[in-house]
Structure 1
């Protein structure tokens, strides 16, 4: 009796995964692990060079293949591989390779993994820049966190990035969304069919060991890839405004700032006398998180959900963040720490949590409950597999019902194809 062939999956990554450097890469790894649990045959490809902290996918049984932009060698590669599912990691990869996938593997299910809605993040960044330029008040940013979805849409709708990103969502057979807020924005304001979107948050296995106790911890911690603009902005706000307010009340307090790819402008902020320590990359993010008493994440803009705050819950570390930091992360449930909109309120909450053991313990228990309620791999992993299998079984019907996506593929992919072929021919002549 012959065994059925394993489902073949090709992942086209914007970068090679670095799960210890970014939440986006961590989410990609969780998706890959979900596929592996099914016994699927996985190939990961990327046109990017390997980063400093690249995961060793080959050791996990995942094939690694380097690919090139604007090069027909990809056509031969994907034709030979003949994947059943192609997962684009970020919409730019769908723009670059979508037409090639459609041409050479028309029956492959095309899936976009968004990580976060980049056009939303960029629009919020622009709004923060305008706010900083217009007003020197560095404390209260409440108005940044209050816009309704309609206002978010109006700021995004005329941007090139939103048009490109939403078009890519339409062109795919399914889109993995990490944030329920972004799903509502896309459905209610941009008009995307809800059936094109699948909620797939970070997928976590429960902690295997008990958390460190209050008395076994010390100091504050902030962590995040310095190449991610929201993280760098948060570090600057802590340095100039938030951390001085905390140190006024806790003169011996220390803040340890960890992040991958630490630039000189970040190391220049290190000041031991102020208790502000820039620690570079953490070899084990969960270990340093477990040793901290409070996680600080004063994000003034961003999108998606925040891996650092999931890590804090995993480690039993209460967190203090903003509404944009907590967005789409806790639903109707309480936050495991505090959510505030001004530097003074964030500092008050951080100091209270740092000193009040009973409040701290309650926040830790809230984090445990939240992980179990919303982020279990045992729930979201099977739901993802079920959705992918359903989409494959009804692929032609889904495509027939998505005329807008078909129209966008026709127009963009033709222009992209001709541009790619022109670039390839130009490169061959030079």
Structure 2
């Protein structure tokens, strides 16, 4: 099949498959609401005018990289966007030239402006010429093309692989989608979702095999891929954060904080479980304890009757991160690395999390996190942190050390250099 036909065919199949996953996970009404929420002004702007595109933002002689994702990253709205934006910005600062291509060809207001302000070229492929024509004319400028998520790799890799002197092809998995979907199917006992997840696995592993290098976010997912595809070139590029100094102490804080986008099914399930089974146990011992729920489209069942503070999207999380006493991640399924845990720890907020949520984060129960997988154990851990300032401080300090050791840009540099090579000089 011609690469351009394959490009559009895989795009169509991917959209149908992801719509089916959403339907099986959320139901018709919620999946439709989710689709509409993804088409708001911040997500779907006008096409990027060709005359306003910037391309090749780096200085001559710098290794030039092209990143492709579905939409322009919105780092204040989801963990994947924050990771991508931070990575591209730090690559520019470290001496690489970086361009970003949104697969939807849409401008995203201030998010597009923020990329350009960080020295990242923002480009879009016009309707004419075709994507394959644009790649033939421009691919030689790039040392590597990083395509985010398996379904985009399935559309873009066929076009890139047929080019002479093609760039290195990197698949950034973000998380292993098939693992997350299979876990959700088990939790829900949903056989149809399990069948769809097995299709995701087939396609995701095909994209993995088609890449020159695969990025994962944790050593656990690296091992999972190598078990499936021995000899694969796999690098760990984690979430990227910086630990904050001057963390407000235990005595100046109160309450519980959950952060997560409602468009991500594990978050809605986690909040519903917390509100239904955990929070009532907490309030037997901590009468009046407030629980703050932050996230676009995240509305817990029975929020009003439980007295939750539901914030929706919050652009600046700093006030909540500096005033809440405990960050929670009661996820019952998922994959990858949990950005909410990174965010809590970077701000010195101790975390109570399930073992599913801490997977691959190189955390130790009692040292830099409290782990609990039942409602009673989870409630007890939250109560302990409220009542034990010494334990609170130990976890607050340990979380910051974990961020510096495993989730800083410096910790990712060896993997970055193995993927792209070393730039000639840092940015001046």
The two structures have a TM-score, normalised by structure 2, of: 0.78
Pairing partner for 1:343 from 362, 368, 375: 375
- Give the unaligned 5+ runs of structure 2: 1-58, 424-428
Q: Does residue 114 of structure 1 match 2:178?
A: no
Structure 1 residue 156: Cα displacement = 9.0
Per-residue CA distance 1:43-75 (angstroms, 9 max, x = gap): 211223456884521222212223479x86212
Paired residue total: 359
Pairing partner for 2:93 from 31, 37, 41: 37
Mapped partners of 2:79, 2:319: distance in 1: 16
Corresponding residue for residue 361 of structure 2: 329
Q: Does residue 80 of structure 1 match 2:137?
A: yes
Corresponding residue for residue 419 of structure 2: 388
Mapped partners of 1:203, 1:218: distance in 2: 27
Corresponding residue for residue 200 of structure 2: 161
CA 1:310–1:13 in structure 2 vs 1: closer, same or farther (change >3 Å)? same
Native 8 Å contact 1:295 1:312 kept in 2: yes
Pairing partner for 1:10 from 52, 58, 66: 66
Mapped partners of 2:345, 2:197: distance in 1: 37
Bigger CA drift: 217-226 or 3-12? 3-12
Per-residue CA distance 1:361-417 (angstroms, 9 max, x = gap): 11112112222322222231x21332123599xxxxxxxxxxxxxxxxxxxxxxxxx
SS where residue 43 of structure 1 aligns? Answer: strand
Mapped partners of 2:322, 2:335: distance in 1: 25
Native 8 Å contact 2:365 2:371 kept in 1: no
Pairing partner for 1:200 from 211, 216, 237: 237
The two structures have a TM-score, normalised by structure 1, of: 0.77
Q: Does residue 276 of structure 1 match 2:314?
A: no
Q: Does residue 233 of structure 1 match 2:269?
A: yes
CA 1:219–1:180 in structure 2 vs 1: closer, same or farther (change >3 Å)? same
Structure 1 residue 21: Cα displacement = 1.2
Native 8 Å contact 1:156 1:162 kept in 2: no
CA 1:247–1:47 in structure 2 vs 1: closer, same or farther (change >3 Å)? same
CA 1:211–1:332 in structure 2 vs 1: closer, same or farther (change >3 Å)? closer
Mapped partners of 1:373, 1:334: distance in 2: 18
Per-residue CA distance 1:308-365 (angstroms, 9 max, x = gap): 1011111110011100111111256855231011011000110111121111111112
Mapped partners of 1:80, 1:112: distance in 2: 22
Corresponding residue for residue 310 of structure 1: 342
Q: Does residue 359 of structure 1 match 2:416?
A: no
Mapped partners of 2:346, 2:164: distance in 1: 40
Taking the TM superposition and a 5 Å limit, the aligned residue runs for 1:163-178 are 163-178=202-217
Taking the TM superposition and a 5 Å limit, the aligned residue runs for 1:64-143 are 64-67=122-125, 73-82=130-139, 83-104=142-163, 106-130=165-189
SS where residue 68 of structure 2 aligns? Answer: strand
CA 1:363–1:390 in structure 2 vs 1: closer, same or farther (change >3 Å)? same
Corresponding residue for residue 115 of structure 2: 57
CA 1:313–1:40 in structure 2 vs 1: closer, same or farther (change >3 Å)? same
Native 8 Å contact 1:170 1:192 kept in 2: no
CA 1:335–1:164 in structure 2 vs 1: closer, same or farther (change >3 Å)? farther
Taking the TM superposition and a 5 Å limit, the aligned residue runs for 1:209-288 are 209-260=245-296, 262=297, 266=299, 269-271=302-304, 274-288=306-320
Mapped partners of 1:43, 1:357: distance in 2: 47
- Give the unaligned 5+ runs of structure 1: 134-154, 393-430
Native 8 Å contact 2:171 2:208 kept in 1: yes
Corresponding residue for residue 377 of structure 1: 409
Native 8 Å contact 1:20 1:53 kept in 2: no
Which contiguous aligned blocks of 4+ residues in structure 1 show a shift greater than 4 angstroms? 49-53, 155-158, 331-335
Mapped partners of 2:418, 2:196: distance in 1: 29
SS where residue 416 of structure 2 aligns? Answer: helix
SS where residue 86 of structure 1 aligns? Answer: strand
CA 1:291–1:158 in structure 2 vs 1: closer, same or farther (change >3 Å)? closer
Mapped partners of 2:279, 2:378: distance in 1: 10
Corresponding residue for residue 410 of structure 1: none
